[in-house]
A = this chain, B = another copy of it.
């Protein structure tokens, strides 16, 4: 355990016979310092292996240069892409990032929010847990003036900006596609309707049915946790139905896939007996046989935009931006499960 003391601006100042104020300003590229002095200080700092102590800086500035991120889970390619996009922007802007996962639990989300609050992050990005009832645990940030920004699974909290896709339209497209292929007895499997993503998809689904003049039997709506087990359960219920559906629209791919697997085990043919559509374009949608019709949206792009919006807000002097909601594009991907 070596114990060489850290190099401080005091050491640099002493060595060059200048004040710490000058060193501090030079290191931050303050305009009042001569180029010559700056150069000298920067060189000496590098030479001595100087590294700023961020705590002293944070203590004084009351800024941490750190952003917080809370996501439901870190286990999907989509989320990995989102985070890669966020990291790219965040690192280029010189911020650090603290990531935490709520594991779809409101309780854990609250704890995570509290931790990030205590860590005094300068800004927060959130995609809500599935079962979060109220976003009130984010209010302390807002009260303190720390910008909070939601993406994908968003909350309606004050004027927090949101980055989303048009879930309503996407679901409309999926449903219209199914109807256009001649399927008429549709069921919809989704998650907590308190989440915008599931509520909007459901409404889009209903809208498309309505547009085609088809009535929807509310018993054909399955509200689940969209887990793999839920997919298996839904399959069991479908098998028990007298009037079996001819198409199933599930609000995410992994649940759709487990449902398909369970049905196939009972010799249901897909899409001949029952067609399927999912949502997210997970890799498994291209692994399952038949490949799954789904909706693609770009995680990397969503991450970049989310982070950029937050950073813009942080660096603008007036907090008066009125960007409320950014909608990024999506794409319906038609595969064999619905042909």
Binding site for B on A (CB under 8 A): 1-3, 51-56, 58-59, 64, 73-77, 79-81, 83-84, 87, 91, 96-101, 103, 111, 115, 118-120, 143-145, 228, 254, 257, 261, 283-284, 286-289, 319
Contact = CB atoms under 8 A, between A and B. Distances in A.
Contacts of A96: 98, 115, 119
26 contacts: A1-B145, A1-B319, A2-B143, A2-B144, A51-B118, A52-B118, A54-B118, A55-B55, A55-B56, A55-B59, A55-B120, A56-B59, A59-B59, A74-B74, A74-B75, A75-B79, A75-B81, A91-B111, A96-B98, A96-B119, A97-B100, A98-B98, A228-B283, A261-B287, A284-B284, A289-B289
Which 10 interchain pairs have the tightest Cβ spacing? A75-B80, A1-B145, A55-B59, A55-B58, A99-B99, A55-B55, A74-B74, A74-B80, A75-B77, A287-B287
A144 B76 CA distance: 36
A100 B91 CA distance: 11
Given A59-B56, A101-B84, A2 B145 contact: yes
- Count the copies: 2
Nearest to A291: B261
A290 to B, nearest CB: 10
Contact of A283 (B1, B64, B99, B254): B254
A286 B261 CA distance: 9
Q: Which of A81, A87, A228 has the most CB of B within 10 A?
A: A87
Nearest to A82: B74
Contacts of A111: 91
A316 B77 CA distance: 38
Contacts of A59: 53, 55-56, 59
A145 B287 contact: no
Contact of A54 (B3, B120, B143): B120
A148 to B, nearest CB: 13
Contacts of A99: 98-100
A307 B265 CA distance: 41
A111 B120 CA distance: 23
